[in-house]
Amino acid sequence: MSTKLRYLTAGESHGQALVAILEGIPSGLRLKREDIDRQLKRRQMGYGRGGRMQIEKDKVQILSGVRRGETIGSPITLLIYNLDWDNWKEVMSVDEPAKESFSSFTRPRPGHADLTGGIKYGFYDLRNVLERASARETAVRVSVGAVCRRLLEEFNISIFSRVIQIGEEKDESSWESAVTNYQIIENSPVRCADPLIEKRMIEIIDRAKENGDTLGGIFEIIVKGLPPGLGSYIQWDLKLDARLAFVIMSIQAVVGVEVGIGFKAASQPGSKVQDEIAYSKEKGFYRLTNRAGGIEGGMSTGEPLILRAAMKPISTLGKPLRSVDIVTKKEVKAGKERSDVCVVPAASVIGEAVVAIEIAKAMREKFGGDSLDEMKRNYSSYLNYLRER
């Protein structure tokens, strides 16, 4: 088998199902459907979600690559049925031509893939674009991330997330306190540890809904337990920070990523940005601070990985903006689909998933192994090497 971890997803928002094929997970990893369903449920939660989440009850079916609760080294196929398919069978039929009564989606939404996608692929019915560009696709990516997360758990690597801003409401607390209070975050409808800020976030989401508007924000991902040396400085596309930025930016509506103190570093002198190095026999080499967010020179340092992502407000508004019908070329109000008001809490869970996938890729690259036992032996040998440095 290949130790290169890779995956593909397929499926449309209102099609029959979403599918992923994941290759590169070693044999011998204990994996249950409940491990994946738990993450799918977390993705569906969050204040500000729309009516679609009242329909879908995402559950995974594992079609291959697992036998009697353990991975067998072959590609893992994951399937999630769209329950809303029952309401869209004729519109999204694979075989039947569209009936004349079916109106095409011709009013592109500002900020969405609708217009440019239609131009690129030659469509006049923009549903062909929006169905695949929809963030519904992230459900199956979360399922892939859940498998990768199970692999990382075998190496005591933990992933956390929280929302630090919705609209203009901010949580200024440290990531350390977020990890300490993580159960509060998990129980919060906006994934915020501060009850007062949580209340204000909910209030502005309610106001946005009343005004037919949407809200974005910022979420933070924290990864603990990484060994130093994941990623590489050798080539640009091997740098771990670049790879993580790429996968987070691939989440629909994410418009910016920062690592560590991020953009604040641009206004500080080097003495207040770089992390001084120390050594002890117990800890080995370590940093006195973690402004770099756990990455230096494109490689993990062994310190906690800290990432933040900015998400714009989603494109479907209750009070649509001006647009142009792509057929008549006349000014119209943009098309309207059933949608959410704020998805930042859900996006933080999706962020965990894509980060888990990329970290798992880097772990497979460095430690290889066809079986989990072999990968663990390689990892243990590397830890011994670190202790002897």
Side chain identity, residue 290: N
Examine the pLDDT at 132 and tell me if it is beyond 60: yes
Q: Which domain holds residue 171?
A: 6-388
Q: Which pLDDT band holds residue 103 (cuts at 50, 70, 90)?
A: confident
Q: Which CATH number fits the domain that encloses residue 239?
A: 3.60.150.10
Residue 225 zone, left/alpha/beta (φ > 0; ψ -120 to 50; rest): left
Examine the pLDDT at 304 and tell me if it is beyond 70: yes
Domain for residue 91, yes or no? yes
Which stretch of 2-6, 240-244, 282-286, 336-340 has the lowest confidence by average pLDDT? 336-340
Q: How many domains does the chain have?
A: 1
Instruction: Please give the model's pTM, rounded to 2 decimal places.
Output: 0.95
pLDDT at 11: 96
Average pLDDT on 80-95 reads 87
Q: Which pLDDT band holds residue 89 (cuts at 50, 70, 90)?
A: confident
Which stretch of 98-112, 132-146, 268-282, 289-303 has the lowest confidence by average pLDDT? 98-112
Share of the chain above pLDDT 90, in %: 84
Task: Determine the Cα–Cα distance for residues 93 and 85; give it in Å rounded to an integer.
Answer: 10
Summary count for the chain: helices (H), strands (E):
11, 17
Average pLDDT on 349-361 reads 98
Domain for residue 366, yes or no? yes
Domain for residue 1, yes or no? no
Examine the pLDDT at 49 and tell me if it is beyond 80: no
CB distance 338 to 50 below 8 Å? yes
Q: Which pLDDT band holds residue 177 (cuts at 50, 70, 90)?
A: confident
Hunting for tokens 């350390």 — which residue is that? Answer: 176
